[in-house]
Amino acid sequence: MASGTLSRQDALSCVGCRHACHILLYADTEAQLFEETPIRHILLMQMRFDGLLGFPGGFVDPSVETLEDGLSRELWEELGFSLSVTVDDHVNSCHTPSSSQLVAHFYARKMEEREIREVEKAAATTATDHGHEVMGMVRVPLYTLKGGRGLPNFLSHSFIGNCRCQLEDALLRFGLVPREELEMALQQAEQRRSQP
Ligand code: APR
Ligand code: MG
């Protein structure tokens, strides 16, 4: 287990903690940008009501429902899509930097490209949270073009909680971006953020 992370069981035994569950939905794709740059994978994130980027999901009270049932409920509200999350989808859990009393549980599910398109469609049409808690779904650009266009610019935006770390970890864990490319993109993102 990576440093700073807790097992699902240890996280659940935290007395007085609140729990938040979020998920990365992703798929492989053959699509190309401008008919020359492979897009490689589709990763879904969302623009939240507070103007920050995050993953779909939310607060779950484990005394009322399991973490996975709660996350499935949140996905129905935020995406308008029925997805039964299971313990097998769990990636890691950790105390958030903002509050040691809030535990963030991270999940990931690989889907077919067709299913991801259905999620995007439902999120913009039938999801009850659309236009309220969720301003829209976004795909993460995984390529780097000249001038930091693509992943470096994306990483320079602002993210909720430790969700940027969750994204970086997932990119490496699931082999979605080579490590050197990610490290380069992070450096470029940092430069962009520090520009006056
Ligand atoms: N990593 C760590 N913490 C996170 C992450 C993340 N990836 N994503 C969200 N959080 C924290 C944030 O502090 C957030 O407020 O978990 C909290 C719950 O996640 P949300 O998705 O915002 O919760 P949700 O239940 O969907 O929405 C409730 O309504 O009352 C407001 O501000 C409240 O954000 C909350 C929202
Ligand atoms: Mg939410």
Dump pLDDT digits (tens) for 38-55: 999 999 999 999 999 999
153 lines ligand 1 (CB under 6 A): no
Question: 161 in a domain, yes or no?
Answer: no
Question: 24 in a domain, yes or no?
Answer: yes
Question: 16 in a domain, yes or no?
Answer: yes
Give the DSSP letter string of 13-56: T-TT-EEEEEEEEEEE---EETTTEE--EEEEEEEETTS-EE-S
Number of independent structural domains in the chain? 1
Question: 167 in a domain, yes or no?
Answer: no
pLDDT digits (tens, 9 = 90+) for 138-193: 999 999 999 999 999 999 999 999 999 999 999 999 999 999 999 999 999 999 99
Which residue puts its alpha carbon closest to atom 4 of ligand 1?
161
Tell me the C-alpha distance between 71 and 68, whole Å: 5
Question: 192 in a domain, yes or no?
Answer: no
Residue 114's domain spans which residues? Answer: 5-140
Question: 128 in a domain, yes or no?
Answer: yes
Task: Note the pTM of the prediction, 2 decimals.
Answer: 0.95
Tell me the C-alpha distance between 5 and 8, whole Å: 9
Residue 151 Cα to ligand 2 midpoint, Å, equals 23
Question: Is the pLDDT at 2 greater than 60, yes or no?
Answer: no
166 lines ligand 1 (CB under 6 A): yes
Question: 136 in a domain, yes or no?
Answer: yes
Question: Which pair of structure tokens corresponds to residue 59?
Answer: 């607060």
Cβ atoms of 96 and 103 closer than 8 Å: yes
CATH assignment at residue 40? 3.90.79.10
22 lines ligand 1 (CB under 6 A): yes
